[in-house]
């Protein structure tokens, strides 16, 4: 009797897990390139990409943060053509909020990857900084919401560390 009950409970848990698993799809927010090397005074561009947006994208709000404002700061933020409404709000010296909406339903369901924005970075002085993204909300076209995993980008401004040793010619 006890063995039958245990098997029944285990079967019910497996069934519930099987129903929940397909609902939570894997999504990823990342920067391309993930490592940016620049010189002071330059303004490299980095794309913010979302992978795993199989249900389309209707709109999003994301915090972008640069952890070392003495080394790098935010420049112009541009959006792809499918983002028909957008807004950039400077929160403080290290954080901005970007928002975009696809009012024309141009990001179709079944599209697995989308460029959300291009972020220009002002390279100020030698050093290192990390660019991170934190989603506030990313809605799909089916009245659902993505909860993506986020990756960071590393910003390296020349003069930040020792130069590699060059062997003396003999």
Confidence of residue 124 (pLDDT cuts 50, 70, 90): very high
Classify residue 127: in a domain, yes or no. Answer: yes
Q: Is the preceding peptide bond at 126 cis, omega within 30 degrees of 0?
A: no
Place of tokens 């990756």: 151
How far apart are alpha carbons 40 and 95 in whole angstroms?
21
Domain tally for the chain?
1
Classify residue 2: in a domain, yes or no. Answer: no
pLDDT in tens, 45-62: 999 999 998 888 999 999
How far apart are alpha carbons 101 and 87 in whole angstroms?
9
Query: What is the phi/psi pair of residue 85, to 5°?
Result: -130, 135
Classify residue 13: in a domain, yes or no. Answer: no
Residue 106: which CATH number? Answer: 2.60.40.680
Confidence of residue 166 (pLDDT cuts 50, 70, 90): very low
The parent domain of residue 116 ranges over 27-157
* Residue-level pLDDT at 103: 87
Classify residue 14: in a domain, yes or no. Answer: no
Classify residue 80: in a domain, yes or no. Answer: yes
Predicted model pTM: 0.78
Classify residue 131: in a domain, yes or no. Answer: yes
- State yes or no: pLDDT of 10 exceeds 50: no
Tokens of 77: 């933020």
- Strands lying side by side in the sheet with 85-90: 35-38, 153-157, 127-139, 59-66, 95-101, 85-90
pLDDT in tens, 77-116: 999 999 999 999 999 999 999 999 998 877 766 668 889 9
């Amino acid at each position: 009797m006890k063995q039958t009950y245990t098997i029944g409970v285990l079967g019910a848990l497996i069934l519930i897990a099987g129903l929940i698993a397909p609902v939570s799809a894997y999504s990823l927010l990342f920067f391309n390139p993930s490592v940016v090397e620049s010189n002071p005074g330059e303004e490299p561009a980095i794309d913010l990409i979302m992978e795993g947006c199989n249900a389309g994208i209707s709109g999003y709000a994301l915090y972008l943060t640069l952890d070392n404002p003495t080394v790098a700061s935010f420049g112009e933020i541009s959006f792809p053509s499918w983002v028909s409404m957008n807004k950039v709000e400077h929160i403080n010296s290290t954080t901005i909020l970007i928002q975009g909406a696809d009012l024309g339903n141009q990001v179709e369901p079944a599209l697995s990857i989308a460029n959300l924005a291009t972020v220009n970075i002002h390279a100020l002085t030698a050093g290192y900084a990390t660019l991170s993204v934190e989603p506030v909300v990313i809605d799909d076209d089916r009245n659902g919401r993505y909860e993506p995993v986020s990756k960071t980008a590393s910003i390296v401004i020349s003069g930040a560390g020792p130069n590699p040793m060059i062997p003396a010619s003999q």
